Amino acid sequence: MEFSRLEGLVAAVHSPFATDGSLNVDVVEKQHDWLLSQSVRTAFVCGSTGESSSLSLLERRALLERWAEVSRSSDMTLVAHVGSNCLPDSKELAAHAESHGVRAIAALAPSYFKPRGIDELLAWCREIAGAAPRTPFYFYDIPSLSGVSLSMPELLERADSIPNFAGLKFTNNDMYSFQQCLRVHGGKFDIAFGFDEMLLAALALGAVGAVGSTYNFNAPVHHRIIDAFRAGEMEQARDEQFRSVLTIRTIVKFGFMGGTKGIMEMLGVPVGEPRLPHHSLDAETKQRLRSELEAIGFFDWQ
């Protein structure tokens, strides 16, 4: 299958909720316009940042439909995460995503009944990819959340049996495996990197695209990392990468999901509070987060 690689920054977008916790698709247009203003032109919908495991099947369909609607007249492209513990749900979401013309689909491994080996994982990927045969398929490797830690180089070596298998969303800090994945079958597969705080290291090894949650609100820093790396300005690239590290180090003290959603509110894109079991930040805690972000210079970097 012919496909274009995911180059540059891909924002793993939040799923917006109303004050009563219900899905609020009316915010999607504001998210879309904000990303375009930050020169981010691909959105990864309903992934980990999008709290996909906390959404119903109907909510996931509705959210993708709204993203497809608001991006129809722009140059924003969409990657739809369709992974689920329920294979029929994943296949339904894959077919639904293809019907809305997404650029690609992605799916993480089931996390309750886990695949025991590459044979089971490959069979599972084949079922989902086959439900959207005209759309590039990415396996979403995120062992820290899925609990599935299998050899990605081995998966790619055998992925030719799936015609629309395009590559990986590699949210894994195993850079040894990352290098191997980039070179399987002569570099045939697209390996989009998923650790924002390690973007520069991935670029040095050959990455061309990255998917991450902080690209919603810290895209200028990461654009500058890419630009400086390409220009050979490594000291500047390292300085910018450390700004990414400082931002993430600050957020995690407050809880990553609640903290990132709080930052979006500060930037004028209110995506609501996260669903349980993630915890929300009250007004006082959000102010402390803002103060700590100001102290490291976050708002001056934008």
Which residue in the list 91, 114, 138, 169 is annotated as catalytic? Answer: 169
140 part of the active site: yes
Which residue in the list 140, 215, 261, 286 is annotated as catalytic? Answer: 140
Span 153-164, mean pLDDT? 97
176 part of the active site: no
Say what the pLDDT of residue 13 is. Answer: 98
pLDDT tens for each residue of 175-233: 999 999 999 999 999 999 999 999 999 999 999 999 999 999 999 999 999 999 999 99
pLDDT tens for each residue of 256-279: 999 999 999 999 999 999 999 999
pLDDT tens for each residue of 61-72: 999 999 999 999
Q: Considering just the CA atoms, what is the radius of gyration of the chain in Å? A: 18
Determine if the pTM surpasses 0.95. yes
pLDDT tens for each residue of 6-33: 999 999 999 999 999 999 999 999 999 9
The mean pLDDT of the chain is 97
Which of the four pLDDT bands, split at 50, 70 and 90, describes residue 2? confident
What domains sit in the chain, N to C, each tagged with a CATH number?
8-233 (3.20.20.70)
Say what the pLDDT of residue 302 is. Answer: 86
